[in-house]
Structure 1
Amino acid sequence: MIYAEEIERAVLGACLLERTAQSTALKSLRAEMFYITAHRAVFEAISALYARGAAVDMLTVCEELRASGRLDEAGGPFAVAKLAGEVATSAHLEYHCTILFQYFLRRRLVEVLTRELAAANDMTCDVYDVLIGTQRELGALLDDSPLENHLHPMPEVMEDTVALVDRRQKLSVNGLTGVPTGLQRLSEMTGGWQPGNLIFTAARPADGKTALDLFFARQAAMAGVPVVFFTLEMTASELGERMVLAESRADPLRIRQGKLTAEEVEDVHRTAERMSALPVHVDDTPYINVDQLCVIAKSLRAKGELGLLIVDYLQLLATVNPGRTREQEVAECSRKLKGLARSLGCPVIVSSQLNRQAEDRAGSPELRHLRESGAIEQDADLVILLHRPERYHIRVDPDTGCSTKGMGIATLAKHRNGATGKVYYGYNPSMTKIGEFEGVHVAVPGKTYKEKGNEGKIGDIFGGAAR
């Protein structure tokens, strides 16, 4: 039979330990979803106590079972005590409830299909009645899912809205309510990376997607936000080298040639030691699929080790359903990443490639250039299109009159909850250092103040001038 005894025991044990676990489990599960009879009895006792507002623990549950004449059915006081003693924390409770429901759904599916199969083989049954009955039963299985109940009455919506506003007021520091972006103008437009948002950064090849993602990761980590960086085209050590180059004085070319001076080697060692203290995890698993990524991310979030997720990049993610077009696969990855952002309650930044049409123009890319799937634009809360005009022999930015040397443009082409517009940033020739672009000063949304002829440069990035 399809069931998981250890998962059932883990859910019940968590409920016996923590009040918050009880509300989570009771919102998601019903007694019939437990396969083992003793476990159903314990869950029903917990439900009855919780409904009355009574305390729920090992002793009160035993008393409730005794009063209802079901203590023996539950295995006695020792069995209840054993459940409470097997669990140390409820950190993974939501995931355990999801697994438990899926086992229940599989059992019910087997029952329905077995019954309908018998009806299909019975020549006295009308085949259309069998089809309609099967469709009705399968639909009921999905409609009955307590994990998919997202219907909220207006009082609850307003209560959550007020709580959100109050939380932002409490957390706001100079208008920043989310994860720091590292670029002042970008933070002003977004309030920082917001919880539950899916953000796409898209660019042509070699226009700096990974470099900017690393900058965002480093800025968030230096603010104490735990970052998880999934890199699908680089190794962890290659990513680490870029992070070291962002803060050290080492020459990028000589570090790759192995020709650093003794002073530079010492500086690299000191920088690496400082960087090792940052709350960053790097996953460089090649050919990882989106479902594996989601499981890893949820596990890290449950352990408090994930506050910002970065994926580099979307088109390299695999799916587990073969036989479909690449556009359909990318759409599935985008949809699942959007669901992941909401379930994690933290920002998710995903790099994406642009299609070939973007190569035919020298100007900034547009939303229509997102590669392989319009689902990206639909699912995203923010789409940031990156452009380095200097690479395309544009010497003066037409909007600001500034030299484009060292100028990067991040265009917020879609912003579900705010304004769109351009953010200027600076970079060095090797794209290892990124920061504010000093040639452009923006004071009011929609108005750019410029100093014509001023050649832009990277501003103060890490508390001292960029080298």
Structure 2
Amino acid sequence: MQILSFKEAIQFGHVENIGKQKLILPTLGLGQSINDIQEGDFIVITARGGTGKTWLMIQMAYDLAQAGQPVGFFSGEMSVGELGLYRFSKLAEETRHLKESDPPSKKIMAIEKMKDVPMFLPVIEDRWQFRQTCVPVMQQMIEERGIKAFFFDHLRFFVNKAEKMNEREVVEQTVLDMRLFSKKYKTPIILAVQPKQISSDEEASIDTLKGTSAISQDATCVMVLDRPRKKQKRTEDSESVYEPYTVLKVEKSRHAIGNKRIKIFLDYNNGKFIEWDKGGQELCQQFAVLYDK
């Protein structure tokens, strides 16, 4: 055990920071907004259901893996098979055209042409508690696969087991365990968290995180996905009360200024969000024409 003086702590801090590794994050320009992903980061993403947080998590993980950074992806909401069939297949050019009704031989031929990326997913078939189940698997993945970052989709599927604690205390304990793991192993964790129950008129934000303020306090970065309502009164004839785009907000960033808002649109055919001002609006208009037909 080390005990350092004031001066030694300053020296230790400067020496410790020498050679620190960053994971360059190209996704939607987020790397520039948060100063990329740094050792020990604990990043939280929150959004209403159906807004696209799983798509965003996958896109971030895939972009890192494509750049040669091994990542682990823990999915409690969707099975590995569902992710492979409905999400990952969209990302790979070789499998984008495949349909569920296609014969297995056609699927296998397409998959064999793919170049693999270092994105690793444990097969989760029952409930995993973070401390009891996830940590040993994560340690093994770091040792055997050289994992540089972990993604968790999402918190409620991985809370610890604690019989004598209420829900809030269990969430706080789990979040603290995640934060401490990321610091100890210098391996960032990116965690999806549900917002609390809010009205359709209320904007999702760092203040609407479900559970406890400890989540946002412990996070080094908080991102929020939100579908803004159109500024019009809802009528029986109105097709949608929401804007066609999604707003991606960086509301907290310990290593940068933060407070960035990016309009994005999900290109479902390719499984990725694109910026609204960099092709998203045009793509939205193309989809609208197709749907009108």
Distance of aligned partners of 1:179 and 1:268 in 2 relative to their CA distance in 1, 3 Å threshold: farther
Q: More displaced, 348-357 or 414-423?
A: 414-423
Q: Does 1:350 align with 2:188?
A: no
Alignment of structure 1 residues 178-197 onto 2, 5 Å: 178-197=22-41
Alignment of structure 1 residues 9-28 onto 2, 5 Å: none
CA distance in 1, matches of 2:190, 2:109: 29
CA distance in 1, matches of 2:70, 2:113: 18
User: 1:180, 1:219 within 8 Å by CA — same for their partners in 2?
Assistant: no
Aligned-pair distance for 1:151?
4.6
SS in 1 for 2:23: coil
Aligned to 2:88: 243
Q: Does 1:321 align with 2:162?
A: yes
CA distance in 1, matches of 2:83, 2:10: 42
Higher share of residues assigned helix: 1
Distance of aligned partners of 1:271 and 1:158 in 2 relative to their CA distance in 1, 3 Å threshold: farther
Aligned-pair distance for 1:311?
0.6
Q: Does 1:221 align with 2:65?
A: yes
Q: Which amino acid aligns with 1:238?
A: E
CA distance in 2, matches of 1:236, 1:382: 27
Quick one: which of 419, 429, 434 aligns to 2:272? 434
Q: Does 1:161 align with 2:6?
A: no
Q: Does 1:422 align with 2:261?
A: yes
SS in 1 for 2:69: coil
Percent of paired sites with the same residue: 17
Structure having the higher Rg: 1
Aligned to 1:98: none
Aligned-pair distance for 1:178?
2.2
Q: TM-score normalised to the size of structure 2?
A: 0.80
CA distance in 2, matches of 1:315, 1:351: 9
Aligned to 2:174: 333
Distance of aligned partners of 1:222 and 1:440 in 2 relative to their CA distance in 1, 3 Å threshold: closer
Q: Which amino acid aligns with 2:250?
A: L
Distance of aligned partners of 1:150 and 1:288 in 2 relative to their CA distance in 1, 3 Å threshold: farther
Quick one: which of 108, 132, 147 aligns to 1:306? 147
SS in 2 for 1:439: helix
Query: What number of residue pairs does the alignment pair up?
Result: 271
Aligned-pair distance for 1:297?
1.1
Structure 2: runs of 5 or more not aligned: 233-241, 285-293
Higher share of residues assigned strand: 2
Alignment of structure 1 residues 57-72 onto 2, 5 Å: none
Aligned to 1:361: 201
Q: Does 1:198 align with 2:42?
A: yes
Q: TM-score normalised to the size of structure 1?
A: 0.52
Distance of aligned partners of 1:322 and 1:222 in 2 relative to their CA distance in 1, 3 Å threshold: same
User: 1:387, 1:408 within 8 Å by CA — same for their partners in 2?
Assistant: yes
User: 2:94, 2:110 within 8 Å by CA — same for their partners in 1?
Assistant: no
Structure 1: runs of 5 or more not aligned: 1-145, 169-176, 396-402, 442-453, 459-467
